[in-house]
Amino acid sequence: MDETDPLVQQRLQTALDSTGGTVTTISDFKSFVDVLVNNIMTPLVRLIFAAAVVYFLYGVLKYVHKGGSEDDRRAGREMMIWGIVAIAVMFSIWGLVNLVLGTFEFKSGRPTIPTTAATPP
């Protein structure tokens, strides 16, 4: 059995602690979707959502602070509008992702499409 450097062990433990202590391997389609959503989509959506909120708040600040000039007020108003549009788009994208994940039951292998039972006439 090989001896591992204590510094490497400490860094590995720190990495495990920062990720919740779990290491995910991709073994089937469900684990691939889990890794894709949890490790890529969620942080990306949060980052873009935070940027949209900051952009909106900067527009509010510009609108209020530069209230004397009509051009600055118009620019601040446009920034607020585009910030709201970006926030709405991010909510709808995240809703669509959750809708797709909730609609299809991801099991080992490939996704299954839910079927409805036929009712007799």
Q: What is the mean pLDDT of the chain?
A: 75
Residue 116 lies in a domain: no
Residue 16 lies in a domain: no
Q: Could you report the per-residue pLDDT of 43-85, keeping only the tens digit for each?
A: 888 898 899 999 999 999 988 887 678 888 888 899 999 999 9
User: pTM for the full model?
Assistant: 0.57
Residue 85 lies in a domain: yes
Domain that holds residue 31: 26-103
Residue 13 lies in a domain: no
Residue 18 lies in a domain: no
Residue 61 lies in a domain: yes
What distances in angstroms separate CA 40 from CA 18, 36, 45, 53, 55, one per listed residue?
A: 16, 5, 9, 20, 23
In the chain, the number of structural domains is: 1
